[in-house]
Amino acid sequence: MTEPKPPPRVRVTSPQMAGRRRAHPAPGRGAAAEIDEQTGVGELYLTGLLRSQLRAGLALLALVLLGLGGLPVLFLLLPQVADHPIGPVTVAWLLLGAAVYPVLLLAAWWHVRTAERVERDFVAFLRRR
């Protein structure tokens, strides 16, 4: 007995495959196409977004470092404040050991909110173009 012959292979393609990809987006296609196709203009848009987010992050970092880094300086300049007891602990331990966490939580919340706002503005800008 002979084995049955398998059916011939068929190549399935999309009708859009015959079209050539464009090197540059067509006029009026918008900023999103510039970004998708990684053109020079799209890179400028993304660079602007990243710079905005970096600026916000560095500003927050500077505030947190000045605020938290300023506490030990304050305690050196005013040792009576640092050594003042509140319950079983001193003000220095209370501020550096407990009050720091809500400040960092608030800073993180602000940073996320700012980054999301910058991204929303960027998406709104892309939709206008």
Model pLDDT for residues 50-99, shown as the tens digit of each residue: 999 999 999 999 999 998 888 889 889 999 988 889 889 888 888 888 88
d(CA 106, CA 41): 36
Q: State the pLDDT at residue 58.
A: 96
Evaluate the CA torsion angle 62, 106, 57, 45 in order and state its sign.
negative
What are the sequence ranges of the domains in the chain?
34-128
Q: State the pLDDT at residue 81.
A: 85
Residue 93's CB: how many other CB atoms inside 10 A?
A: 13
pTM for the full model?
0.63
- CA 128 to the chain's CA centroid: 22
**% residues pLDDT > 70 (the chain):** 84
Average pLDDT over residues 10-23: 65
Q: In this structure, are residues 25 and 123 in contact, taking their beta carbons and an 8 Å threshold?
A: no
Spatial CB neighbours of 42, under 8 Å, sequence gap ≥ 6: 31, 33, 34, 35, 36
